Amino acid sequence: MKTLWNLASSATLLVALVISTGCSSIPDHAAPAQSKESQAAITPTAALDRLKEGNWRFRSGHLLTRHYESQRKETAGGQHPFAIVLGCIDSRCAPEQVFDQGIGDIFSARIAGNVVNEDLLGSMEFACKVAGAKLITVLGHSKCGAVQGAANHVEMGNLTALLARIRPAVDATLPKDQTGKATPDQLAMITQANVERVVREITERSPILAELQKSGKLKIVGGIYDLESGAVKFLE
């Protein structure tokens, strides 16, 4: 009888354990949303490390567990992202995926060829000066159609003016007498030159962001995402 009682007791304990863990809607190991406190505590260098760690998780398949409903509720009253990523519209390189980030973690600005204009500079000024982000990452990527279009003088509707923003990187990379299409190696060089140029352009055209960088409150860094490996090479 005692053995039976012990068995019944163990079963009750087991059921209680299953209920207590099974009913919990948020797993203990789920990543919390970015808060005002966590944003204030992070330095520009630590913000960059966070993106590097996130990219490692993405390419190695060790993604953080996220509970979107909980993150949505946590951030509904306000957002405190630690970085803004300026990336291409390419469907294969969404910053939130490439850097394994959740709701409210990063601002994401996207335009073909990851170039800047007045509107994007204004968005970055909001993200950093008003909302407190500590890092700007300009993210180019391999096999970028916009870079290819600019290199090969594609003209079409409103795209013509957009691709013209990449032309300086093309002109700085390709030999002046080149008549044929750009090679894959040349396209990779143009992609990097474009990212480096956009990084420079941000502080040249925005005194607000230049001041934040000068005072050590902001870091601006370029990166190239490789579509095949999933790795981001930061240009530091």
Shortest spacing between CB 152 and Zn ion, in angstroms: 14
- Residues 144-203 interacting with Zn ion (rule: CB under 5 A): 144, 146
> Does residue 84 contact residue 124 with C-beta atoms inside 8 Å?
yes
Q: Which is nearer to Zn ion, 88 or 136 (CB)?
A: 88
Shortest spacing between CB 179 and Zn ion, in angstroms: 25
Place of tokens 């990063």: 106
Q: Which is nearer to Zn ion, 20 or 91 (CB)?
A: 91
> Does residue 128 contact residue 206 with C-beta atoms inside 8 Å?
no
Q: Which is nearer to Zn ion, 162 or 218 (CB)?
A: 162
Q: Does 90 bind Zn ion (CB under 5 A)?
A: yes
Query: Encoding tokens for residue 16?
Result: 């209680």
Q: Binding residue for Zn ion (CB under 5 A) from 83, 85, 88, 182?
A: 88
Shortest spacing between CB 114 and Zn ion, in angstroms: 7
Which segment (36-44, 86-94, 188-196, 197-205) binds Zn ion by CB under 5 A? Answer: 86-94
Which segment (20-28, 80-88, 204-212, 220-228) binds Zn ion by CB under 5 A? Answer: 80-88
Q: Which is nearer to Zn ion, 88 or 212 (CB)?
A: 88
- Residues 136-155 interacting with Zn ion (rule: CB under 5 A): 144, 146
Q: Which is nearer to Zn ion, 112 or 128 (CB)?
A: 112
Shortest spacing between CB 202 and Zn ion, in angstroms: 18
Shortest spacing between CB 137 and Zn ion, in angstroms: 15
Q: Which is nearer to Zn ion, 111 or 210 (CB)?
A: 111
Q: Please tell me the count of residues contacting Zn ion according to CB under 5 A.
A: 4
Shortest spacing between CB 141 and Zn ion, in angstroms: 6
Question: Which DSSP string corresponds to the chain?
Answer: -HHHHHHHHHHHHHHHHHHHHHT-SS-TTSPPPP-HHHHHH--HHHHHHHHHHHHHHHHHT-PPP--HHHHHHHHTT----SEEEEE---TT--HHHHTT--TTTEEEEE-TTS---HHHHHHHHIIIIIT---EEEEEEETT-HHHHHHHTT---TTHHHHHHTTHHHHHHHS-TT--SPPPHHHHHHHHHHHHHHHHHHHHHH-HHHHHHHHTTS-EEEEEEE-TTT--EEEE-
Place of tokens 């966590």: 38
Contacts with Zn ion, residue ranges (CB under 5 A): 88, 90, 144, 146
